[in-house]
Amino acid sequence: MTFNKSVHGSANRSSQATCVLTTNLRENIEMIKKATGNSPDIIIREWRFEGENILEAVVIYASGLADVKFINQFIMGPLLSNQDEGHLKTERLLLANPLDFFKNKLLSVGEIQDEASADTLLNGILSGDTAILCQGNDLGLLIASKGWEERGVQEPTSQTVIRGPKEGFSENIATNIALVRRKIKDPNLWLEHFHVGRVTKTSVSIMFINGIVKENVIKEVRDRIEGIQIDGILESGYIEELIQDKGFTIFPTIAHTERPDVIAAGLLEGRIAILIDGTPFTLLVPALFTQFIQSAEDYYQRSDISTLIRLLRYAALIIALLAPSVYIAVTTYHQDMLPSGLLISLIAQREGIPFPAFVEAFLMEVTFELLREAGVRLPRAVGQSISIVGALVIGQAAVQAGFVSAAMVIVVSITAIASFVIPAYNMGIPIRILRFGMMGLAASFGLFGIIAGIILIVQHLCHLRSFGVYYMSPYAPVIADDKKDAAIRVHWRNMISRPQSVSRQNPIRENRSPAQYPEPEERN
């Protein structure tokens, strides 16, 4: 007998059950014991009411997942205190329909639901809920009593800001949903719940604002999640890879964040949030290329400051992608482009270097990538030491030993600094990969190879879509109104409409136009 359930949502939740409860309490208990292998952490507490007739019941929960104090106070306490009550009316109500009596008269808890499916009941127990079964009843009560140890709301570690909220998502999906609802107190913020994974049965929820999000995007997200056939989901990266648009690309087409304010801002623009239990990283779709260059802090600073910082990020992205390849192309094929003094200095530095510029740059880039990964994987204190050793000792020693030139060390260092400016880590990875390809094109064809590589990259980006939305919007296709929050950010008074590339439903953020704002009076 199995208790597995495939992916299901609210529409097909009842059709996936493979086993139902019976009216025999002992059979139900043995069924649960057999399904769990008589695991000692599954607590089965029997209860008995003796009056004119005898009523037997059982309370079942998982130790470590359920809140034992809650169970003792609000479930076991009322049940045991009612055992010796001899009031005839109480006894009649109890024996007539015990589950209704427990739910409506006895238990002072908020979330209680009837369940006829043994699969759903066991899944609830293994999720931290408490089940009550009675003799002679083929239904069971499932009571919300989750209470495992968890990490509280803390500051995000991957997306820090100088100004802005310091709260981040945790591994508890209920806490994450509450953090979003704290920011959007609107009844149109709707939630749909799924269980994904035949074994893990991971809770997955999608959030969207009804009336703003596109209906076809909601249907597409729902269909892709329900179409997942896998035994387990342990992190949002599983969902991201399984629901992304078909076609190979190294660029991320689904955004992820651990900041509730970023999710709230995306929902207000017409996007859909996908929350997964067990991870603080929440997915946001559709995602655009410009979204990965933006930061939450852009909207907490003045528009002119945010615009300057965004332009610096785009410049850093270009440097991180092209700086080594441009150096290789110029020093190998286009020396006449350099001033005479700089050319003489570079020739003097490269005197005695046994490798061509491409091999020199390739070795330095590989060394830096190794140092970067070592700094991430090692303990924090040791990782900082590795960075210092790599920057000072290895770089200086390589120059003195004559393996690389000082100019190449400078170029690689600037490239490394520029790559850290990109806010989204998952956007920095494809830039790091493409950097090696651009270096190869530069070593083979010079600047012509770099130009050809840029054309191929732009063409690939323009063909990408994220849940039906063009990845390079608002630049390809051109949406003039959406450019006010792309490479630059205009004043909030001028951003009265939502991004048309994401949603055309309810496009106006506020009712007043910029012309309706009164100009400040001049003072003498």
**499 touches 509 (CB < 8 A):** no
Please give, one letter per residue, the 3-state secondary structure of 193-209.
EEEECCCCCEEEEEEEE
d(CA 461, CA 251): 8
Q: What is the chain's Cα-based Rg? A: 30
Q: Which residue has the tokens 């359920």?
A: 66
d(CA 169, CA 171): 7
- The H-or-E segment that residue 250 falls in is none
Task: Provide mean pLDDT across the span 272-292.
Answer: 94
Is it true that the peptide bond before 474 is cis, omega within 30 degrees of 0?
A: yes
The pLDDT of residue 323:
94
The pLDDT of residue 6:
37
d(CA 365, CA 381): 24
**The two structure tokens encoding residue 210:** 């009804």
Task: Provide mean pLDDT across the span 50-68.
Answer: 84
The pLDDT of residue 459:
95
Buried b (16+ CB within 10 A) or exposed e, 321-338: bbbbbbbbbbbebeeeee
Model pTM score = 0.84
pLDDT band per the 50, 70, 90 thresholds, residue 328: very high
The pLDDT of residue 501:
86
Q: Which residue in 320, 10, 312 sits closest to 191, CA to CA?
A: 10
Sheet with 189-196, strands from edge to edge, namely 189-196, 202-209, 272-276, 282-285, 255-257
Q: Is 500 left (phi over 0), alpha (psi -120 to 50) or beta?
A: alpha
The pLDDT of residue 265:
94
Mean pLDDT is lowest, of 86-90, 176-180, 481-485, for 86-90
The pLDDT of residue 183:
93
523: pLDDT strictly greater than 50: no
Task: Provide mean pLDDT across the span 443-471.
Answer: 94
| pLDDT 10s digits, 303-326 | 999 999 999 999 999 999 999 999
Quickly count helices (H) and strands (E) in the chain: 18, 12
Mean pLDDT score of the chain, rounded to an integer? 85
Q: Which residue in 457, 468, 421, 470 sits closest to 218, CA to CA?
A: 468
16: pLDDT strictly greater than 50: no
SS3 state of residue 148: coil
- CA torsion through residues 91, 93, 95, 98, sign: negative
Q: Which residue has the tokens 């009560």?
A: 141
**459 touches 280 (CB < 8 A):** no
**266 touches 445 (CB < 8 A):** no
455: pLDDT strictly greater than 50: yes
The pLDDT of residue 10:
39
The pLDDT of residue 224:
95
- CA torsion through residues 126, 131, 135, 138, sign: negative
Mean pLDDT is lowest, of 62-76, 210-224, 446-460, for 62-76
3: pLDDT strictly greater than 50: no
Task: Provide mean pLDDT across the span 431-436.
Answer: 95
Amino acid at 470: Y
189: pLDDT strictly greater than 50: yes
The pLDDT of residue 512:
53
Which carries the bigger pLDDT value, residue 68 or residue 93? Answer: 68
- The H-or-E segment that residue 495 falls in is none
The pLDDT of residue 15:
38
**118 touches 28 (CB < 8 A):** yes
Q: Which residue in 240, 238, 243 sits closest to 227, CA to CA?
A: 243
**The two structure tokens encoding residue 320:** 């991180």
The pLDDT of residue 266:
94
206: pLDDT strictly greater than 90: yes
Q: Which residue has the tokens 């939630």?
A: 191
The pLDDT of residue 391:
63
Cβ neighbors of 170 (< 8 A, separation 6 or more) are: 150, 151, 152, 153, 154, 176, 280
pLDDT band per the 50, 70, 90 thresholds, residue 7: very low
Task: Provide mean pLDDT across the span 434-449.
Answer: 95
| pLDDT 10s digits, 250-259 | 999 999 999 9
**504 touches 269 (CB < 8 A):** no
**460 touches 471 (CB < 8 A):** no
SS3 state of residue 465: strand
Q: Which pairing describes strands 255-257 and 282-285: parallel, antiparallel, or unpaired?
A: antiparallel
d(CA 233, CA 241): 11
**Angle value at C-alpha 224, between 290 and 8, nearest 5 degrees:** 135
